[in-house]
Chains A and B, each alone.
Chain A
Amino acid sequence: MAELSEISIDVVQWRVEDVHIPPSVNALADLVASKPPSSPYISPSDLTCFAVRLLLLTQPIISYEHAGKCYCICGIRTLQAAKTCLKPDDLVPVHMIEKSSISDEQLIQLAQSDLYLKSFFSMFARDPDVLAQMYNIIGKDILKHIAPGHQTKSKFAQDADYSRQRVFYERIKNDGSDSSTQPA
């Protein structure tokens, strides 16, 4: 992981429709965009504009600029809420990372860590299928840095109040084609 102290951040106003998802974190975007079939869930469209503005303050969108375009790497869920509830040409505050201070690989790691931490640190129950996908996307290398205890599937599932079997293997029975949940 990059040295956090080396990352410089500047807050810039962008039109919400001009903030994009970089292709490198598409898998994470898929995870966020797919509505979980069960479990308690607050839809972004259920939020008020005030709530979205609050989110933009407390869980900001972190982006970088490349070729004149703004790419979001952290706060994807906040971006989704902003895009769903605000008008396309509304301005939103975006924390801009200086692209030169961080490598592409580090950007991806940052995005993955953000999603993981926000998911696990939230007080709401999580969907086991989403957890399994997240575990496979993030991988053990990242987990080693941010939550070493979660490197093993058993501990990962246990902390989410599920059995290892429920999180990683029952889905395989239902949908054998999904390779993302293959046991490590």
Chain B
Amino acid sequence: MSGLKMMDQTLPPSLLKYVEAPEPLVEAGHIINRLATVLSVVEQISSLEHLHEGSQLNTWSAACLAFAADYQAQAQNYIFDPLRGLYEDHQPYVSLWHEPSDPKNKTKHNHLLGQLLIANSACRRLEAEGEHFESSRKAAFTFARSICKKDYSSTLEALPGKACSTEEYLSHLAGLSDTPRTASFAVFIRYALGLRKGITRDTSDNHHKHPAKEPISLSNEPDIDQNPVTSRSIKMPIHNPAKEKEIEKSGLSSQEFTHQKEHSETSYSEEEPMGGRSSTEHLQRAKSSQKQVAMSNQQLQSRWSVLSSFEASCIASGIAYAYRKSKACSDVDLSHQLLELASLLTIMFWYSVPFDEAINAIGHETMPQKPRERVEFVLDSPSFVLIKTARPEYKSQYRKYKCLDIASHVSLNSGVAIEQIIAEHFKRAGKRRKLFNQSIEYYVRLLENFISETNQSYGCRLTMGRIANCVFESIATAPGSDITYAMLITGRTSYLGANPLFYTATNSWMLNSIYQNTCKSIAKSARMELAGGKRRQTSPVKFNPPYQMHGARIRPTCSEVASLQWHLSGKIEDAKSLGPIEVHNAMAIYTSAFINFATGYRAVGDASFHSNEIDYDTGFAVISDKDSVDEYHSRLVWIMDECIKQIQSYQAQLKAILEYASLKLPNVYKALSNELHGSIKDKARSIPGLFLIEGDKIVPLTPSAYESHFPSSYPFPANAHRHFLRSNLLEMGGPSDVVDAFMGHWENGQEPWASFSTLGAIDYRDIIKPMLTKLIVSRCGWNAIDPYE
């Protein structure tokens, strides 16, 4: 061993550091000899690329050769692994000791080690700047050692046997059958290149084929047969642990493989919906089931699944490039293929349509009478696209009320002239009905090639799913927009927007405006260059879509709400000449309606506030309507001054009723006196806050009783005020998170008033106050009424 000590002094310290040699050297005779060969490979690669270590390679090679010549005779055979204990801390050095069992693969292994040493050196430099690659390094060197075994000789054979650049070597690796070891090796090299991106999606084992769906029943009740709410969720995650690990090793997130449709599945049995239970029991059971569905959807969409602006830029530029290339290309077939690709990608990316629906797109020369397909292109001036919008699925009998005429398709024009691509394709394809008439496999191949090329060239992680998700997400998060608008514009479904969609109805002009703004924003941020020269980025002709309504079927207008206010306030005036009971009943109905319109109270019962639920100084109040036992959906609302005055006026009027009842209505007196004098400090109420008096009895003001007082000019259900509020507040520019907080629309992870939420109560009030006051007081005319003034 003393000889080794003497010998290692002849090797340059920089080389020893480069190969991470141990002190003292072990098996130096064999390893240094091998190192000389590998360094020659490094030198060849260095000549192709300007490597950091290039200047020292000659010195290192010479030193190695001299060292190996002297040391050859001293090499020994060991019974045990001589490098035992060195694997962890001297991985490059140890890897040089391993050689493939098949001698003809030695050159290929040398090239592999050469690439690995270069990558390792680059990563070491990055680590000096604070990054960490320990696990990736370990996996890569393990791969380099294990590939020497007989079992992996076929993999080694597939690797390049001549010097090539690192990027070329990487593309060879991508072409190999995807095993975790190969993938981890590729990831390490990509880290070294500074790309730090995953490789392309595994197409041979597509996640859609994975046995992801394993439905579990949410009901723990023994009488499943009579369960009124049959809810099922899909067990998450959709991959087995081995697959997840594999995905993560390849640099991707397992969430990226998650398909939205696999999130949850809820169905309600239409046979015997109540199953003999009371409405309260039914509601509690439904709540319980919904809660479990929500728990199974804890994995909300992550930012990983949303394209970055760089990736959006890449895909937008890619589409533009394919389009330009198709115009410049002299080869007719290639030109047609490029145009078809650009057209398909335009529909997928700019209209957020998934691939399987985009390929079924059809074209028309003029506006069709009854559009049916998911995507229909209209070659008009300007061209536009009809997208089948999202619709809430009603289960209640809404037809007995006044319903909006909801259009099935929304007409969209991006305003950034991308329709010209589809128009060009439509014209060149002879204006045939079906825009894409090749086989699905053909388009899959076409897209995969494009995506693969783009990913390779720009270091993106584009997938078909992510491409089709970009605009949807952009619309959902755009200023003045909302996830329900994104659903209406793109026709896609979203778990988070499923409930709010029932309360959102808006017009086609609004939707098209939001869509155009989003497209312009993407185009601007992506610095899109659709075409140089004379072509313009914006559409030359202004697009005026037909005025249609989309979304929920119920939405009262301001004038209809004003007519309700006029009718109910008139009832109070009329009641003054009839007596205190009539005045009280009219006041109860008016106050209930005012509170509903001012706070969005759900029409499930008593809409009043208990003394400890309202702060008369600030106007803040707490509502817990249609809530679960844990009061998860309790929410903070701000009540406008006029409404507070009305509540106070109603409460003052209760005293008048007490005076009257003290002499005339013993039962009402007893209940009311206990409420006003006796148990006022208790949380539980002896009587509802808003009630009617019939005879000598106190009768709760139920939604059906409340609804029965609506005039014919307001033909809507008791909860129509929530439709009115959400639709109008959004159209008035209310931020969707504030509107959702006001309405009580949130799912797990979106809570506006949880411990770690960031929505401030004062900001919330400052935003909601001017909008609500304008809508409810100015436009609809709600005001406080004192019947004894």
Report which A residues bind B (CB closer than 8 A).
Answer: 17, 20-21, 29-30, 32-35, 37, 43-45, 76, 79-80, 83-84, 86-88
Q: Which residue of the partner chain, among A17, A35, A86, contacts B670 with CB atoms under 8 Å?
A: A17
Q: Are B677 and A87 in contact (CB under 8 A)?
A: yes
Which chain A positions have C-beta within 8 A of B663?
Answer: 21, 29, 32-33, 76, 79-80, 83
Q: Is B345 an interface residue (CB 8 A)?
A: no
Which chain A positions have C-beta within 8 A of B660?
Answer: 33-35
Which chain A positions have C-beta within 8 A of B670?
Answer: 17, 88
**A19, B441: Cα distance in complex, Å:** 91
**A48, B663: Cα distance in complex, Å:** 19
Instruction: Tell me how far the C-beta of B748 lies from the nearest C-beta in chain A, rounded to whole angstroms.
Output: 46
Q: Which residue of the partner chain, among B580, B674, B678, contacts A35 with CB atoms under 8 Å?
A: B580
Q: Are B662 and A83 in contact (CB under 8 A)?
A: yes
**A79, B663: Cα distance in complex, Å:** 8
Q: Are B673 and A88 in contact (CB under 8 A)?
A: yes
Instruction: Tell me how far the C-beta of A79 lies from the nearest C-beta in chain B, rounded to whole angstroms.
Output: 7
**A17, B678: Cα distance in complex, Å:** 12
**A35, B678: Cα distance in complex, Å:** 25
Which chain B positions have C-beta within 8 A of A80?
Answer: 659, 662-663
Which chain B positions have C-beta within 8 A of A83?
Answer: 658, 662-663, 669, 673
- Chain B contact surface mostly: helix
**A45, B580: Cα distance in complex, Å:** 15
Instruction: With CB as the reference atom, state the residue of chain B lying closest to A76.
Output: B663
**A32, B664: Cα distance in complex, Å:** 10
Q: Which residue of the partner chain, among B579, B673, B788, contacts A17 with CB atoms under 8 Å?
A: B673
Instruction: With CB as the reference atom, state the residue of chain A lying closest to B655.
Output: A45
**A83, B656: Cα distance in complex, Å:** 12
Q: Are B659 and A88 in contact (CB under 8 A)?
A: no
**A29, B666: Cα distance in complex, Å:** 13
Q: Please give 15 more A-B residue pairs, beta carbons under 8 A apart, in addition to A34-B660, A35-B580.
A: A17-B670, A17-B673, A21-B664, A32-B663, A34-B580, A45-B659, A79-B662, A83-B658, A83-B669, A84-B655, A84-B658, A84-B659, A84-B662, A87-B677, A88-B678
Kindly supply a per-residue 1/0 record for chain B positions 5-44, scoring 1 wherever the CB is within 8 Å of any chain A CB and 0 otherwise: 0000000000000000000000000000000000000000
Instruction: With CB as the reference atom, state the residue of chain A lying closest to B579.
Output: A34
Q: Which of B618-665 contact A (CB under 8 A)?
A: 655-656, 658-660, 662-664
Which chain B positions have C-beta within 8 A of A21?
Answer: 663-664
**A43, B658: Cα distance in complex, Å:** 11
Instruction: Tell me how far the C-beta of B682 lies from the nearest C-beta in chain A, rounded to whole angstroms.
Output: 14
Instruction: Tell me how far the C-beta of A171 lies from the nearest C-beta in chain B, rounded to whole angstroms.
Output: 12
Instruction: With CB as the reference atom, state the residue of chain B lying closest to A31.
Output: B663
Q: Which residue of the partner chain, among A17, A30, A37, A43, contacts B659 with CB atoms under 8 Å?
A: A43
**A101, B308: Cα distance in complex, Å:** 98
Q: Is B769 an interface residue (CB 8 A)?
A: no
**A87, B670: Cα distance in complex, Å:** 10
Q: Which residue of the partner chain, among A17, A29, A43, A76, contacts B655 with CB atoms under 8 Å?
A: A43
Q: Is B324 an interface residue (CB 8 A)?
A: no
Report which B residues bind A (CB closer than 8 A).
Answer: 576, 579-580, 655-656, 658-660, 662-664, 666, 669-670, 673-674, 677-678, 788
Q: Are B788 and A35 in contact (CB under 8 A)?
A: yes
**A30, B658: Cα distance in complex, Å:** 14
Total A-B pairs, Cβ < 8 A: 58
Instruction: Tell me how far the C-beta of A148 lies from the nearest C-beta in chain B, rounded to whole angstroms.
Output: 30
**A43, B677: Cα distance in complex, Å:** 17
Instruction: With CB as the reference atom, state the residue of chain B lying closest to A30.
Output: B664
Q: Are A29 and B669 in contact (CB under 8 A)?
A: no
Which chain B positions have C-beta within 8 A of A30?
Answer: 664
Q: Are A37 and B664 in contact (CB under 8 A)?
A: no
Given contacts A83-B673, A88-B673, contact A44 B664 (CB under 8 A): no
**A23, B662: Cα distance in complex, Å:** 14
**A79, B670: Cα distance in complex, Å:** 14
**A83, B576: Cα distance in complex, Å:** 24
Instruction: With CB as the reference atom, state the residue of chain B lying closest to A44.
Output: B659
Which chain B positions have C-beta within 8 A of A87?
Answer: 673, 677-678
Q: Which residue of the partner chain, among A17, A33, A79, A88, contacts B664 with CB atoms under 8 Å?
A: A33
Instruction: Tell me how far the C-beta of A77 lies from the nearest C-beta in chain B, rounded to whole angstroms.
Output: 9
**A34, B674: Cα distance in complex, Å:** 22
Which chain A positions have C-beta within 8 A of B656?
Answer: 35, 43, 45
Which chain A positions have C-beta within 8 A of B666?
Answer: 20
Residue among A29, A45, A76 with max Cβ neighbours from chain B (10 Å): A45
**A84, B669: Cα distance in complex, Å:** 9
Which chain B positions have C-beta within 8 A of A84?
Answer: 655, 658-659, 662
Instruction: Tell me how far the C-beta of B576 lies from the nearest C-beta in chain A, rounded to whole angstroms.
Output: 7
Which chain B positions have C-beta within 8 A of A44?
Answer: 659, 662
Q: Are B576 and A37 in contact (CB under 8 A)?
A: yes
**A29, B664: Cα distance in complex, Å:** 7
Interchain residue pairs A-B with the least CB separation, the first 5: A83-B662, A45-B655, A33-B663, A29-B663, A87-B677
Instruction: Tell me how far the C-beta of A139 lies from the nearest C-beta in chain B, rounded to whole angstroms.
Output: 22
Q: Are B659 and A35 in contact (CB under 8 A)?
A: yes
Q: Are A45 and B658 in contact (CB under 8 A)?
A: yes
Which chain B positions have C-beta within 8 A of A79?
Answer: 662-663
Q: Are B659 and A33 in contact (CB under 8 A)?
A: yes
Which chain A positions have C-beta within 8 A of B662?
Answer: 33, 44, 79-80, 83-84
Instruction: Tell me how far the C-beta of B413 lies from the nearest C-beta in chain A, rounded to whole angstroms.
Output: 63
Instruction: Tell me how far the C-beta of A43 lies from the nearest C-beta in chain B, rounded to whole angstroms.
Output: 7
Instruction: Tell me how far the C-beta of A68 lies from the nearest C-beta in chain B, rounded to whole angstroms.
Output: 16
Which chain B positions have C-beta within 8 A of A35?
Answer: 580, 656, 659-660, 788
Instruction: Tell me how far the C-beta of B653 lies from the nearest C-beta in chain A, rounded to whole angstroms.
Output: 10
Residue among B663, B669, B677, B678 with max Cβ neighbours from chain A (10 Å): B663
Instruction: With CB as the reference atom, state the residue of chain B lying closest to A77.
Output: B663
**A83, B670: Cα distance in complex, Å:** 10
Question: Could you pull out 11 A-B pairs where Cβ atoms are within 8 angstroms?
Answer: A17-B669, A21-B664, A32-B663, A34-B580, A35-B660, A43-B659, A83-B658, A83-B662, A84-B655, A86-B677, A87-B678
Which chain A positions have C-beta within 8 A of B664?
Answer: 21, 29-30, 33
**A87, B676: Cα distance in complex, Å:** 9
Which chain A positions have C-beta within 8 A of B659?
Answer: 33, 35, 43-45, 80, 84
**A59, B732: Cα distance in complex, Å:** 61
**A32, B666: Cα distance in complex, Å:** 15
Residue among B669, B670, B673 with max Cβ neighbours from chain A (10 Å): B673
Instruction: With CB as the reference atom, state the residue of chain B lying closest to A37.
Output: B576
Which chain B positions have C-beta within 8 A of A88?
Answer: 670, 673-674, 677-678
Instruction: Tell me how far the C-beta of B353 lies from the nearest C-beta in chain A, rounded to whole angstroms.
Output: 66
**A126, B647: Cα distance in complex, Å:** 31
Which chain A positions have C-beta within 8 A of B788?
Answer: 35
Instruction: With CB as the reference atom, state the residue of chain A lying closest to B665.
Output: A33
**A76, B663: Cα distance in complex, Å:** 8
**A33, B660: Cα distance in complex, Å:** 5
Instruction: Tell me how far the C-beta of B666 lies from the nearest C-beta in chain A, rounded to whole angstroms.
Output: 7
Instruction: With CB as the reference atom, state the residue of chain A lying closest to B674.
Output: A88
**A28, B656: Cα distance in complex, Å:** 18
Instruction: With CB as the reference atom, state the residue of chain B lying closest to A26.
Output: B664
Residue among B669, B677, B788 with max Cβ neighbours from chain A (10 Å): B677
**A88, B666: Cα distance in complex, Å:** 11
Instruction: Tell me how far the C-beta of A36 lies from the nearest C-beta in chain B, rounded to whole angstroms.
Output: 11
Instruction: With CB as the reference atom, state the residue of chain A lying closest to B576.
Output: A37
**A73, B616: Cα distance in complex, Å:** 42
Instruction: Tell me how far the C-beta of B482 lies from the nearest C-beta in chain A, rounded to whole angstroms.
Output: 47
**A80, B657: Cα distance in complex, Å:** 12
**A17, B670: Cα distance in complex, Å:** 8
**A87, B616: Cα distance in complex, Å:** 25
Instruction: With CB as the reference atom, state the residue of chain A lying closest to B656.
Output: A35
Instruction: Tell me how far the C-beta of A28 lies from the nearest C-beta in chain B, rounded to whole angstroms.
Output: 9
Which chain A positions have C-beta within 8 A of B579?
Answer: 34
Instruction: With CB as the reference atom, state the residue of chain B lying closest to A86.
Output: B677
Instruction: Tell me how far the C-beta of B651 lies from the nearest C-beta in chain A, rounded to whole angstroms.
Output: 11
